[in-house]
Every structure is written in C-alpha cells, then in structure tokens.
Amino acid sequence: MRHVLSILVENEPGVLSRVAGLFSGRGYNIETLNVGPTLDREVSLMTITTSAPEVVIEQIIKQLRKLVTVIKVVDMNDHMAVEREMMLVKVGAEGEKRAEILRIVDIFRCKVVDVSSDELTIEATGDRGKLEAIIALLQRFGIKEIARTGAVAMKRSMQ
Amino acid sequence: MELSGAQILFECLKREGVDAVFGFPGGAVIDIYDEMPRHPEIKHYLVRHEQGAIHAADGYARATGKVGVCLVTSGPGATNTVTGIANAYMDSIPVVIFTGQVPSPLIGNDAFQEVDIVGITRPCTKHNYLVKDVARLAGVIKEAFYLARTGRPGPVLVDLPKDVIQARTEFKYPRQVRMRSYNPNLTPNAKQVARALEAIHKADRPLFYVGGGVVSSDAHKELTWLAKKLNVPVTATLMGLGSFPGDDPLWLGMLGMHGTYAANRAVQECDLLVAVGARFDDRVTGKLATFAPGAKVIHVDVDPTSIRKNVRVDVPIVADCRETLVALKAQVEAAGGPETLRRKRQQWTETIKAWKIDHPLTYNGADSGEIKPQAVVETIYELTKGEAIITTEVGQNQMWAAQFYNYHKPRTLLTSGGLGTMGYGFPAAIGAQVAFPDTLVIDVAGDGSIQMCIQEMATAMCYNLPVKIVILNNGYLGMVRQWQELFYKKNYCATCMDWAPDFVKLAQAYGAEGYRVTDPAQVRPVLAQAFGNGKPTIVDVVVSREENVYPMVPAGASLHEMLLV
Ligand SMILES: Cc1cc2nc3c(=O)[nH]c(=O)nc-3n(C[C@H](O)[C@H](O)[C@H](O)COP(=O)(O)OP(=O)(O)OC[C@H]3O[C@@H](n4cnc5c(N)ncnc54)[C@H](O)[C@@H]3O)c2cc1C
Ligand SMILES: Cc1ncc(C[n+]2csc(CCOP(=O)(O)OP(=O)(O)O)c2C)c(N)n1
Ligand SMILES: [Mg+2]
C-alpha cells in the first residue's frame, strides 16, 4: 500500500543522502520526496511517499528511526491527514484548444502562470487523485512538461 | 587553555579510557602523529596494512567489550579500512575510526589523497562525522564513543580535515551526551517480561536461541541461571558461542547451516523459541517458510529493526538483553523462586538427549593416517581447556573452530560472522593479544584466508605479541570447494591453491617460529610446543584435502534437512 511518511531530521549536510541511501541500499522505493525547513531552523521536514507491503513499511519506518539524524517519523496513514502536492504542467494550447484548457483550469481551480502563443503553463495543487485527474484530462492537448513537488502532508487538528 | 585539534583528540581518547590505538600514518594525519609521543598512556600499534588496523581494533573490542580505536590517513588509508568497518558493522562491534582528510578548503576539489570516506562508509557505519570546526571536535568524539558502545553497538567513523587537526580552541570535554534523535530503549516493558515468563513456564518444548547480543551485553550469567533454573535447553548462533557453558547438559551446540543435529531439530520441534540478542540470520533459519514451524516466538533485541524482520514474533521485547534477563530473573524470584516455575519436561529432555547421542558432531577417518582438521581443533581444545581466546579466518576452518571447540566463556571466540571476511582472524588475534598479553590467543586459519593479512606478522613481532596461527592447510579454498563438490558437480574452478608459500619459512622470514605437521601423531606435541614457546608462531598443519563440514543445511533447505557425515 502507499504510505506518506513525515520525517523530521536534523538539518545538516548529508542527511538527505542518509535517508535516500537507506531506501536505495535496502531496495525500498521512493515515489516522491520533498524536503523543506520547519519552524525550528535546526530541523528539516522530509516527506516521502512509498509503496510496499505492510511488513516492509514497518521495516522502513524502523530503519528510518534508527538513523541517528532522524528525530521523528510519522506514518500519515495512521492519522487523519491532509495531503497536498503542487505541480506545473506545460500544455500545447493552439487555437480552439485554449478555451477548453482554460475551462479545465477553472473547474479544478488551477492557475495559469505562464502564457505564450501556443502554450499554457498551469499550476495545480491537490491530493494525488486530483493531480492525476488533471493530467489525464490535459493529456489529449499534448503535455510538454511536468514538474511536481511530491506530496507534503499534515495531521488534521481533530483526530 | 587552547589546544590544537590533535591535542584535543588525545585528551578525548584518555577521557574515554583508550589505552591502545591501531593505526598507520600519512600526510593528512601527520599532525596527530606529531603529537602522539607526548601521550605515552595511549599506546599506538603500527600495523602493516590499514585493514590490519581496523580488524585489530575490532578484535580488541570483541575481546574486552571496550571500544576499539583505529587511526588512518586520508584517501587510500581510509579506503583500506572499509572492509573492516563493514565487518564490524555486520557483527555490531563498537569501534571508532579516525580518518585524516584533506584540508577543508580543498574538500571536493579532487585534492591529493582525497576521498569522500563519509559518503563511502555511510551504509556500513552506525553513524559517521566530518568535523568541520575544531570547536565541535571534542563533542563529536564524545558522541562517537557513546554511539559506538550504546544500544546496538557498531562502528562510528570520524573524518578529520587536516586544518581542523591543526586549528586551536579552548578544550572542554562534554560531561554527557544529549542527542534528541538517539535514545535506545534498554529497559524492558514489565508486562512483556511477564508474558515471556508465562510462555516459558507453559511451554512443553521451550528453547533458548541466543546470539551476539548476549555476549555484547554481558548477559551470559543471567542466561545460564535462567536456563538451568527453568530447565530450558540452549542453542547459540556463531556469534553467541561462549554465552552458555559448552559442557552443560542443556547445551545443544550451534544451530544453523553448520549447526548440530540436536540444535537444528530442537528449533524445528520446539513449541517456544526464546530468541535473545540474535537476529534470525539466513545462515541460521534456512528456509524461512518452514523455520520453527510449531513455535511461539519471544524476541529480545535492543534494535527494533531486528524484530519481525525475518520471522513473526509473538512476544517482542525491545530492550537490552541483560536488563531483560535480569528482569526475568527478578520475576522468577518474585513468583516464589525457580522451584515453583521449573518444569521437568521429561519427554523433551529425553528427545534432545537421544538426538545428541544418535548424531553427535563427528567425522570419519580419524585413523586414516591423514590429519583430520576437526581433530586439530579438538586437540587445541584439549590443550587449552577452553581457556584460550580463539579467533578464526573464514571458511571450513571457521566452522570447525565453532563446532569442535567448547566455548565456556563469552568473548573467547572472535570470528567474522556477518560479513565473513577472510583475513579477519589474524589481525583480530593481535588486537585481542594487545588487550590480554598473558592469555593464549590462537587464530584457527585456512591456507587461503591467512594470506589476506599475513603482513601483520611484522606487527606481532614488533610488539612481542605471541599470537599462534594454526593453519588447517587443505590446499583449497575449502568452503567454496565444498560447495562446488556438493552443488556444482565437482567443478573445482579457481579453488585449488596451486601455489602456496612455505609457511614455516615465511614465519622464519619475519623472525617468528614456524612448524609444519604432516603426521597425526605429531599434532599434539607440536601444538603444545607452539603454545608454550612465547613467540608469534605459525603452525602449518597439512590436513586431509577434501574434508567437508557437516552437518550442512544446503542453502534454501529447511533446518531439519541436514546433510550428515
Ligand atoms: C562461512 C560461514 C558460515 C556460517 N554458518 C553459520 C551457522 O551455521 N550458524 C550460525 O549461527 N551462524 C553462522 N554464520 C554466521 C552468520 O552469518 C551470522 O553472522 C550469525 O548467525 C549472526 O548471529 P546473531 O544472530 O547472534 O547476530 P549478531 O550479528 O551477533 O547480532 C546481534 C543481535 O543482537 C542485538 N543486540 C546487540 N546488542 C544487544 C544488547 N545489548 N541487547 C539486546 N540486543 C542486542 C543486535 O541488535 C542484533 O540483532 C556463518 C558465517 C560464515 C562466514
Ligand atoms: C575476502 C573474502 N573473499 C572471498 C570470500 C569467499 N570465501 C568464503 S570461504 C572461502 C575459502 C577460504 O579458504 P581457506 O582460508 O583456505 O579456508 P578453508 O575453507 O579451506 O578452511 C572463500 C574464498 C570471503 N569469505 N572473503
Ligand atoms: Mg583452505
């Protein structure tokens, strides 16, 4: 099953390669990986999404906790959580295609962030399902490029 | 007072109680070596190859339980330790490795003798550091020793750029370590301990399966007490040998691929497996699907990743082995003492006894006129009465040393279990001999393995370390040849050692003693002479060439599917 793991790590050089090396060295897969600062300057937050059987997920979490620079690991699947990912999509938008694309942008509450005579760059935010839906709908116009941030997640206040 | 990085290093080592450092100098650590003569409390042992330094530090650590220390230069000095670091990592041995590094401003520049040793050793150290500021040096060293010896022990590497070693700062050794991200849990959950005790009491066919964690946590006394009082037989992994007396009736011998018949049958037929400080390695379990099929499993391990990694566990206890066994003992006593909890389990006892009698460890051809390698190990045991420290190389020699020598005390068998590093035994013996100058230290060696770190003969000579190397010389990379014989239609490709040095002359070339034995009758007298001569010695014992190690569970088979003699 797919799990979203929030990993608080010491903000120091090499910490990303410790975590990434753990996944590659032990043959775990990383679907998405996102790293950013937190309120505490000495701590970074990594969000990793990975898919594996539950026993393997258990090992992944234990192995992560064992890394000396990892402070805390939360499996968001154990909680009510909000999950979001942002992506930029560049689609071909010549002639009458353009209006149709803009309608999709509107329905999904995306934003157009760059325009040229024959292309539109769209910014979309949402959970994975929504982003996949957008991609599926834009496919037929010709997607030229996609850039995705990977998921970030947060526990809901009410659990 | 302001001290240089090099001075700080020595001050820290003293505060950590380090009395021996195994090392090899070079440009990046020359300032450390420049400082060294001013600290005679710390004795430096100059090896002949950095692999020797790390294995010696590892052997020192296994023999003493203290942290072993190794010091090498940047680049090739550092990379030469990698095998030994991985070796210590696999067997959870506490060592701290100091590597020199090019000056910080040059890092990343492909500078002379620069290598990213922190990157290279990330997957085979418990943790590692690149020290970028001399102000952090003392703190890092303190953490390194703390990490190496606590929780699940392991190697920690500290990379020291040359400018950091030269820089000066006020020296203050932190009194304690506080790391928010590292807090191994040592104390067992009392409820889990109670569940474990109840399960042991209820079990009709219980079995202790103990490993390296019992050795490293010094839990052998508690283990022995519990096993005897509660009448539970004991088997151990290769790493656990010595944690239960090898002559006790409850002792079954080692389990696993080359384990005893009784131990492996007992695992397969027990109804409760009490795993203490053992990690269900594939050499131990054989085919996982059929491993201990009828057993409930209690698993005590300080490292949560060991638990449920390979087998399902009914009563997990994440804690230190010793603390857990102490807690178990206390609960036994609280419950009215062992008399109330001890069960006779006559049938189980009888069954095990029969297995032991019907299929003891044995070999054919004792009177064939050839020297049997197993007999050599038996003779070593008889001559030393189990009082020696045995190290091994890797292969058949290692398995015979495990099978035919009775270990009564922990830390008397030093062997490369997880990585299986040929070349480990001799430098490890040097490390052990440094720690225990008056104890007989014997490397049970193979003719192949011994050639991998033979250069350390000079180290043994130089420091008067009277280590004995007993080569079970079969002229083959025997363990691989055995596999080729059994599973590859005797296609002995690249396993015959067609050319070997004259080991007697080799010993003599170093100024050591050398003996060759070809006659079975000479084994005992020559070994006795070697063990008594007070000098580094090689005994080259020419043994039957195509002897195999049995029992053997073929790779992928179930534990009870053993090939026997
Ligand atoms: C040629 C060859 C053949 C081999 N054949 C066999 C064989 O037949 N049988 C066999 O047993 N082995 C054999 N081995 C060795 C095998 O590969 C493993 O190294 C060994 O089985 C592992 O032993 P262990 O489970 O005791 O684990 P170790 O590697 O010693 O690990 C110790 C475990 O205890 C835990 N621990 C450490 N300290 C503590 C503490 N203070 N408190 C609690 N837990 C702690 C650790 O987390 C770890 O899980 C062979 C090796 C070679 C090279
Ligand atoms: C460094 C290293 N290389 C290769 C191996 C694979 N290997 C395992 S046992 C063995 C044979 C060892 O031969 P020898 O030292 O003569 O011991 P024997 O089995 O003959 O007793 C080999 C090559 C290893 N364990 N370590
Ligand atoms: Mg050999």
**Residues B403-436: pLDDT tens digits?**
999 999 999 999 999 999 999 999 999 999 999 9
Residue A25: pLDDT above 90? yes
Question: What band does B340 get if pLDDT is binned at 50, 70 and 90?
Answer: confident
pLDDT of residue B161: 98
**Residues A97-151: pLDDT tens digits?**
999 999 999 999 999 999 999 999 999 999 999 999 999 999 999 999 999 999 9
- Give the ligand whose atoms come closest to the C-alpha of residue B84: 2
Q: Does A55 touch chain B (CB under 8 A)?
A: yes
Question: Among partner residues A17, A58, A68, which is closest to B181 by beta-carbon distance?
Answer: A68
pLDDT of residue B1: 84
* Catalytic residue chosen out of the listed positions B2, B112, B487, B508: B112
pLDDT of residue B336: 87
Residue B339: pLDDT above 90? no
- Both structure tokens of B260: 């005893």
> Tokens 């190496």 label which residue?
B148
Contacts of A9 in chain B (CB under 8 A): 181
Please report the atom of ligand 1 found closest to the CA of residue B277.
34
Nearest CA-CA distance, residue B29 and chain A, Å: 24
More confident residue, A30 or B338: A30
Which of B238, B282, B404 has the most ligand 1 atoms within 8 A of CB, as the residue to mutate? B238
**Residues B10-38: pLDDT tens digits?**
999 999 999 999 999 999 999 999 999 99
**Interface probe with B: pick from A9, A19, A66, A68, most Cβ of B within 10 Å:** A68
Contacts of B181 in chain A (CB under 8 A): 9-10, 67-71
Q: Comparing C-alpha atoms, which of B273, B264, B233 is closest to residue B250?
A: B233
**ipTM score:** 0.93
Question: Average per-residue pLDDT in chain A?
Answer: 96
Question: What band does A7 get if pLDDT is binned at 50, 70 and 90?
Answer: very high
Question: Average per-residue pLDDT in chain B?
Answer: 97
Q: How far apart are the first and last CA of chain A?
A: 22
Nearest chain B alpha carbon to A71: B181
Long-range pairs for B132-135: beta carbons < 8 A, 24 or more residues apart: B132/B104, B132/B161, B132/B164, B133/B164, B134/B4, B134/B5, B134/B8, B134/B164, B134/B167, B134/B168, B134/B169, B135/B169
* Catalytic residue chosen out of the listed positions B66, B162, B296, B468: B162
Give the three-class secondary structure for B555: coil
**Residues B503-544: pLDDT tens digits?**
999 999 999 999 999 999 999 999 999 999 999 999 999 999
Determine the average pLDDT of the residues in B302-311.
96
φ/ψ (deg, to 5) at A20 = -65, -40
- Both structure tokens of B481: 């040849």
Q: Does A65 touch chain B (CB under 8 A)?
A: yes
Contacts of B305 in chain A (CB under 8 A): 59, 62-63, 66
Q: How far apart are CA B229 and CA B226, in angstroms?
A: 5
Whether B113 is catalytic: yes
Helical residues (DSSP H) of B249-372, grouped into ranges: 261-269, 282-285, 321-334, 338-341, 346-358
Q: Does A36 touch chain B (CB under 8 A)?
A: no
Q: Does B126 touch chain A (CB under 8 A)?
A: yes
Cα distances from B146 to residues B68, B149, B537, in angstroms, run: 12, 6, 37
Determine the average pLDDT of the residues in B442-455.
98
Q: Which residues of B94-112 are buried (b: 16+ CB within 10 A; e: fewer)?
A: bbbbbbbbbbbeebeeebe
Beta carbons of A17 and B309 less than 8 Å apart: no
Q: Comparing C-alpha atoms, which of B197, B208, B221, B187 is closest to residue B302?
A: B187
pLDDT of residue A55: 94
The binding-site residues of ligand 2, defined as CB within 6 angstroms of any ligand atom, are B 393-397, 420-422, 446-449, 472, 474, 476-480
Strands B296-301 and B315-318: parallel
**Residues B48-70: pLDDT tens digits?**
999 999 999 999 999 999 999 99
Question: Among partner residues B119, B122, B305, which is closest to A62 by beta-carbon distance?
Answer: B305
> How many angstroms does the Cα of residue B479 sit away from the middle of ligand 3?
8
Q: Is the pTM of this model over 0.80?
A: yes
Give the three-class secondary structure for B139: helix
Q: Which helix (H) or strand (E) holds B148?
A: helix B134-149
pLDDT of residue B534: 97
Which of B80, B421, B449 has the most ligand 2 atoms within 8 A of CB, as the residue to mutate? B449
Nearest CA-CA distance, residue A62 and chain B, Å: 5
Question: What band does A156 get if pLDDT is binned at 50, 70 and 90?
Answer: very high
**Residues B148-187: pLDDT tens digits?**
999 999 999 999 999 999 999 999 999 999 999 999 999 9
Given a contact cutoff of 8 angstroms between Cβ atoms, the answer to whether B444 and B404 are in contact is no
Q: Does A11 touch chain B (CB under 8 A)?
A: no
Q: Does B124 touch chain A (CB under 8 A)?
A: no
Determine the average pLDDT of the residues in B487-502.
96
| B521 CB-near residues (< 8 Å, 6+ apart) | none
**Interface probe with A: pick from B179, B182, B308, most Cβ of A within 10 Å:** B182
Cα distances from B123 to residues A12, A21, B433, in angstroms, run: 17, 7, 30
Determine the average pLDDT of the residues in B222-244.
97
Whether B50 is catalytic: yes
